[in-house]
Amino acid sequence: MTLARIPDAPPSAGWDLHCHTVFSDGRQTPDDMVREAYGGLHGVAIADHDTTAGWADAVKAAERYRLPLIRGTEVTADASGISVHMLAYQYDPCDARIVDLFASLRAARLARTKRMVELISKDYPITWDDVLAQIREGDETTVGRPHIADALVAAGAYPDRSAAFAGAVGSRSPYYIPTPSPDAADVVRAVRQAGGVSVIAHAGDPSRNRRLLSDADIETLIDAGLDGLEVWHRGNPPQQRERLLALARRHNLLVTGGSDWHGKGGKPNKLGENLTDDDTVACIIERGAIPPILPR
């Protein structure tokens, strides 16, 4: 297995490996994602939450614009009470364990979102139908808090999605309900079984958890088969980047970067603001079960 060189600083050119589309909580289509990346990035990865529903559209767009594509998914998991977002790349989407995992996660997300809407609607002028009106791809969309936020914006309760997340739909809101999540180590093992590559997203972001994953927590996931850490992400402050880089060097982990792009009207994150170098992407491709899309 090839080991990638671990850079000391964020790459100035490369791939954006953390992008969301309308098939989860993004505001633009896979075609929009690839078109925006074309000409500026070496390639891009689709990583919608708990689904592969946008993969086919992303492949068509990659072939249309002749831009390389990695296929992935962001999976919400739990490690000792800490919410962990796992980026899973290049796995077999037909693997039975993965299919069952995503089906159960999406059902749990839907039930949790409905309950949050019930609570919020007691104090804000929104209904479940208002939330459904924000969904672009019907039953193929992974429904979650961003769609509640968009309904609140449409109702005039907040000026934009970010403000709604700072208020009623935020994790410190009285309406907040945690996402029912599988154990992070089980997710790592499931991704490995499906021939994929697992990376912890924004592991050093203090705005997401009151308590961050410790080195020991991450080493437990390494023992389960974890491949890498997303170091280059706007949520990881400098001291956390240094800690994560040290862990990566100690355990020969892949170091990735991504914008966490959600499109216009989603998050302020800009496509390509954090990148993954070509050598690391080559390692992900080598380890993965499915071929990348490399249009000629």
215 within 8 A of 254, measured Cβ to Cβ: no
174 DSSP β-pair partners: none
Q: What is the pLDDT of residue 206?
A: 93
pLDDT score for 296? 74
**Across-strand partners of 256?**
230
d(CA 46, CA 35): 13
If the chain, 296 residues long, is cut into consecutive pieces of 10 residues, what is the mean pLDDT of each piece? Answer: 82 97 94 97 97 97 98 95 96 96 88 95 96 84 88 95 92 89 96 98 91 96 98 97 97 97 89 97 97 91
CB 25 within 8 A of CB 142: yes
| Radius of gyration over every alpha carbon of the chain, rounded to an integer in angstroms | 18
What is the per-residue DSSP string for 146-209?
Answer: HHHHHHHHHTTSSSSHHHHHHTTTSTTSTT--PPP--BHHHHHHHHHHTT-EEEESSTT-TTT-
The two beta strands, 82-89 and 69-79, are antiparallel
Sheet holding 15-19, edge to edge: 15-19, 43-49, 69-79, 82-89, 197-200, 228-232, 254-257
pLDDT of residue 209: 82
What's the burial of 275, exposed, middle or buried (CB within 10 Å: 0-12/13-18/19+)? buried
Note the pLDDT of residue 265: 79
